[in-house]
Structure 1
Amino acid sequence: MINHSMTAGAALVVHGVDDLRLDPMQPAEPESDEAVVQIAYGGICGSDLHCWLHGAAGESVLREPLVLGHEVVGTVVQAAADGSGPAAGTRVAVHPATPGDDGARYPQDRPNLSPGCTYLGSAARYPHTQGAFSQYAALPARMLRPLPDGLPLRAAALAEPASVAWHAVARAGDVRGKRALVIGSGPIGCLAVAVLKRAGASEIIAVDVHEEPLERARLVGATGTILASDADAIAAVEADVTVESSGNHRGLDSAIRGTMRGGKVVMVGLLPSGAQPVAISLAITRELDLLGSFRFNTEMDEVLTALAEGSLHVDPVVTHEYPFSQALEAFATAKDAGRSGKVLISFIPETATGEI
């Protein structure tokens, strides 16, 4: 459900399963350390889709209306009153995490693992952490990353998911000259392909259940592609490093089977909670390193630099763009993984609609 007439001073709010609305909403009065950002673009993430389609993303269950959106870029229109952060007029990407601590142990140099961490547009905590799919958002100044000169806002809209992919590849260590396998060629998978190419992997084989995502993977650097139904071909890859980005137990099983003995499997796709039927015995007998990868830390700074200098080629990952007034159509397109990659919502008035 969506009210198309409500666009001025609006935010995209999920109220429950299949209940997505453009609600009238003015930005909250900023705290002294918050800046007001005029949002230009927002990318639809899988977690946004899950909240809309299922009322939950993993173990994060919707308990109150939630403004979605954490993949956002825009322009500061009001700087933080305490003088921190960028000045008005600065174009910025948003790092959506706020590390927290509830007393549990974790490495202090990996704040993405802090158990009290909150994320924009997340139902993990209650009250929920409201997101930024709105025309204006009051955001902590520490979240804002000024864009390098020459990097357009639209190109920077991929900075957050590209940082997730960058972090995942970094978990594997040095990939120069190595054979890489990427399971799942959705937006994160394709971004992982692009990051692997930039990092010097000599072979990058992408896997997906659909042909269109595989074509996008080739455009960003895959040297070969395999349909997910071809189990023998996947097993024959024997990759040094595999990135599992499907978020499906079958994908994780394929990742284990497609990795060489002594190789590494980076698990960035978020599987459902609970037991998963995968060939763990193979991981043991092959001495595979199974590495979790969750969000990111400071990688966004490197990603923005790489995007600005052109060394990270990700343009083909974006397949559709919709104006804010057509947000429901944007979400319907984004859930169709067979024909869409990253779907952007433009908060700029009178933006063209549909496929790029």
Structure 2
Amino acid sequence: MKAAVWYDRKDIRVEERNIKTLKDTDVLVKVAWAGICGTDLHEYEFGPIFMPKDTPNEITGEMGPMVLGHEFSGIVEQVGDNVSTLKKGDKVVVNPVYTSGKLPAEIDRYTGLGSLGLHTDGGFAEYAVVSETNVVQIPDSMPLDKAALVEPLAVAAQAVKDGSVKPGDAVAVFGCGPIGLLTIVAAKAAGAKEIYAFDLSDEKLEKAREVGATQILNTKTGDPVSFIKEKYPFGVDATFEAAGVKATFDASIASTRPTGTAVIVAVHAKNLDFNPVVLMLSGVKMSSSLGYEPATFKDTVRILNDANTNVDPIITKRIKLDDVVEEGFETLLSDMTQAKILIQLSGQL
């Protein structure tokens, strides 16, 4: 089969790979669409970060070169002898996360973490072999390109859950990249009545409005904290820092009300100076969010399938696997108007 394989920083090769042997509890998925994640981009630009290039991963026991891709949808091609919940022809998405599986879900997601496409072969390939427990069936009516957004939307839905967002809340999202936009989608699905969105790009802010933001501001032209406090003098109920820089980190805390929650969703590439007294004096609770619980992943299928959920503006480009480097990774590095780029495997354009 053809696959996009990570070898090292700036070294991804589209080449032929053997399909792995199917175990009794495995499912062979014919991949339809796969999304390029910011984590994939970091591995391309700066890696190895999570890639087990020289040392085997603790859970999978595998190491590179590795097939990238952990956001993907497809159709079941074959099932192992002991698989009982799926059959050939089922439309599915894949939860790529492997954990210890021995602790409560809210704790387990932070222990022994491994992922398809980072610690074992993933979905930038014509076929993927996945454990039955990681495969989730989707409605026949859901388009497979849209379904490729289940995984990143699950990240956002978990962050909204960690921020304790409830119907009627006002929230703010700092940074309107793919995860920031999907956080807006998830906050709207959770019942947020007002959603502020901040970014430096007018194009991204327009997408934010299209997917559910009620207030937008380009922070080149205004201060987000003052903008929020014109209507909410004490701040909003929850904020989501999805940009990964100190300015948005500080602003997210400053615009959260006392006892509200500021959730760090972005992966910060650099350390930053922070005095915890800021939290003590403001009464703001700080949280962070990584990945998702299995129940959140499954519930995200429902969110995505809701007629009120609009994710179309987030998909900005569809490409062929052969073009994954130039039209995918290099485009994401050079064109800041891009959001989610999808790779076509067996899906229809």
Normalization by structure 2: what TM-score? 0.89
Instruction: Tell me if structure 1 keeps the 8 A contact 2:173–2:183.
Output: yes
Change (3 A) 1:337 1:310: farther
Instruction: Tell me if structure 2 keeps the 8 A contact 1:171–1:266.
Output: yes
Question: In structure 2, what residue type is equivalent to 1:187?
Answer: P
Question: In structure 1, what residue type is equivalent to 2:94?
Answer: V
Instruction: Tell me if structure 2 keeps the 8 A contact 1:43–1:345.
Output: yes
**Residue 23 in 1 paired to residue 15 in 2?**
yes
Unaligned residue ranges in structure 2 (runs of 5+): 55-63, 229-234
Superposed displacement of residue 283, structure 1: 2.0
Change (3 A) 1:79 1:107: closer
Which residue pairs with 1:6 in the alignment?
Answer: none
> How many aligned positions are there?
332
Question: In structure 2, what residue type is equivalent to 1:283?
Answer: L
Superposed displacement of residue 172, structure 1: 1.6
Which residue pairs with 2:65 in the alignment?
Answer: 65
Instruction: Tell me if structure 2 keeps the 8 A contact 1:70–1:132.
Output: yes
Q: Distance in 2 between matches of 1:121 and 1:208?
A: 29
Instruction: Tell me if structure 1 keeps the 8 A contact 2:91–2:140.
Output: no
Aligned partner of 2:200 among 204, 209, 212: 209
Compare 340-349 and 107-116 and name the one that shifted more.
Answer: 107-116
Question: In structure 2, what residue type is equivalent to 1:82?
Answer: N
Superposed displacement of residue 130, structure 1: 2.3
Question: In structure 2, what residue type is equivalent to 1:289?
Answer: K
Q: Distance in 2 between matches of 1:107 and 1:292?
A: 19
Unaligned residue ranges in structure 1 (runs of 5+): 1-8, 123-127
Find the residue that maps to 1:295 and give its secondary structure.
coil
Compare 236-245 and 304-313 and name the one that shifted more.
Answer: 304-313
Change (3 A) 1:309 1:240: closer
Question: In structure 2, what residue type is equivalent to 1:184?
Answer: G
Map residues 3-82 of structure 1 onto 2, 5 A cutoff: 9-57=1-49, 62-63=53-54, 64-82=64-82
Instruction: Tell me if structure 1 keeps the 8 A contact 2:30–2:346.
Output: no
1:181-205: CA deviation from partner (whole Å, max 9, x where unpaired):
1011011110111111122212111
Superposed displacement of residue 145, structure 1: 0.6
Q: Distance in 1 between matches of 2:306 and 2:168?
A: 23
Question: In structure 2, what residue type is equivalent to 1:138?
Answer: V
Find the residue that maps to 2:302 and give its secondary structure.
helix
Which residue pairs with 1:125 in the alignment?
Answer: none
Map residues 1-356 of structure 1 onto 2, 5 A cutoff: 9-57=1-49, 62-63=53-54, 64-100=64-100, 108-110=104-106, 112-122=108-118, 128-229=119-220, 232-237=223-228, 238-272=235-269, 275-278=271-274, 280-297=276-293, 298-328=295-325, 329-336=327-334, 338-348=336-346
1:101-137: CA deviation from partner (whole Å, max 9, x where unpaired):
7xxxx96232543421211112xxxxx3222210011
Superposed displacement of residue 61, structure 1: 6.3
Question: In structure 2, what residue type is equivalent to 1:308?
Answer: N
Q: Distance in 2 between matches of 1:230 and 1:67?
A: 42
Q: Distance in 2 between matches of 1:301 and 1:26?
A: 30
Instruction: Tell me if structure 1 keeps the 8 A contact 2:198–2:224.
Output: no
Which residue pairs with 1:3 in the alignment?
Answer: none
Find the residue that maps to 2:268 and give its secondary structure.
coil
Compare 221-230 and 37-46 and name the one that shifted more.
Answer: 221-230
Q: Distance in 2 between matches of 1:111 and 1:259?
A: 26
Instruction: Tell me if structure 2 keeps the 8 A contact 1:253–1:279.
Output: no
Find the residue that maps to 1:149 and give its secondary structure.
coil
Q: Distance in 2 between matches of 1:204 and 1:249?
A: 21
Superposed displacement of residue 74, structure 1: 0.3
Instruction: Tell me if structure 2 keeps the 8 A contact 1:72–1:93.
Output: yes
Find the residue that maps to 1:15 and give its secondary structure.
strand
Compare 142-151 and 305-314 and name the one that shifted more.
Answer: 305-314
Instruction: Tell me if structure 1 keeps the 8 A contact 2:189–2:303.
Output: no
Question: In structure 2, what residue type is equivalent to 1:92?
Answer: V
Q: Distance in 2 between matches of 1:223 and 1:279?
A: 32
Superposed displacement of residue 263, structure 1: 1.9
Instruction: Tell me if structure 1 keeps the 8 A contact 2:320–2:345.
Output: yes
Change (3 A) 1:111 1:324: farther
Which residue pairs with 1:5 in the alignment?
Answer: none
Question: In structure 1, what residue type is equivalent to 2:186?
Answer: V
Superposed displacement of residue 90, structure 1: 0.6
Instruction: Tell me if structure 2 keeps the 8 A contact 1:112–1:295.
Output: no
